[in-house]
Structure 1
Amino acid sequence: MIVAVSAFGNTLDSKVNPRLGKCEYFVLYHTQTGTYRAIDNTGRFSSGAAGVATTGLLNDHEVTAVITGTVGPNAFTALEACGIKVYTGASGKVEDVLDKFLNGQFAEAKGPTPPQKK
């Protein structure tokens, strides 16, 4: 299983970026080998529907689950169509979020994240 965590940086010490489509990096963690690597989120440069463009990137890297802070309706629908499970509400360091995920402390999202109040 390959798990992607939206992040501000490209290491396990990086902070989770709460925005799926506009995050700078994804840290890809391979649960079977315990190894990771980071990829640049080129989907963030999309002029519209960054979450959908990002989903294509994740799908190309054979990601099976994504952990982030929030996910919009278009991105959620695209992720669901690709069979990528979504886990929201993440914050803190990537390494800590992965530990929580591996210990079953995240519930799979059943829909997009409600819009945040301004």
Structure 2
Amino acid sequence: MKIAVTSKGTDIQSAVDPRFGRAAYILIVDSELENLEVIDNQKNVDAFKGAGIQAAATLGEKQVDVLLTGYCGPNAFRTLQAAGIKVANDANNCGTVEAAVKAFNEGRLAFLKDANVDGHW
């Protein structure tokens, strides 16, 4: 399973970034934390609009199964849904990327049914 986690840094000990579209990095790991791919999301950090949609499209291209983040706006959420990517929130309360993946594996993160923040957050 490919799990994407919004991150403030480039390794699994980095803090989870609560933002999705404007996160500094998005790390893609497998459910066992054995493989790591770093997506530099800097192009979207200062984007005027569409940051979430662009980030969601990137995850779709990478064939991600699940996104762990803090907040996801409506346009990004719809784009993720269209790509078949489930979104779990509250990952930012876990601290690190590694802790968020472990919390997800243990069933402690709930899937969102809809966006949990207005656009342009």
State the one-letter code of the partner of 2:76.
Answer: A
| Unaligned 5+ runs, structure 2 | none
Question: How far has the Cα of 1:46 moved from its partner?
Answer: 3.8
2:3 maps to a residue whose letter is V
1:68-102 superposed Cα distances (whole Å, 9 cap, x missing partner): 00000111111111100001111211111111011
Question: In structure 2, do the counterparts of structure 1 residues 61 and 14 end up closer, same or farther at CA, with 3 Å as the change threshold?
Answer: same
| Secondary structure at 2:98 match in 1 | helix
Output the TM-score relative to the length of structure 2. Answer: 0.87
Q: Residue 19 of structure 1: CA displacement?
A: 0.5
Question: Could you say which residue in structure 2 is the equivalent of 1:62?
Answer: 63
Distance 2:45 2:57 in 1: 12
| 1:49-88 alignment, distance < 5 Å | 49-88=50-89
Question: How many residues of Structure 1 are paired with residues of Structure 2 in the alignment?
Answer: 115
Q: Which runs of 4+ in 1 moved over 2 A?
A: 31-34, 42-47
| Maintained 8 Å contact 1:43/1:57 | no
Residue 108 (str. 1) matches residue 111 (str. 2): yes
Q: TM-score, normalised by structure 1?
A: 0.89
Q: CA RMSD in A?
A: 1.6
Q: Which position in structure 2 is the counterpart of 1:21?
A: 21
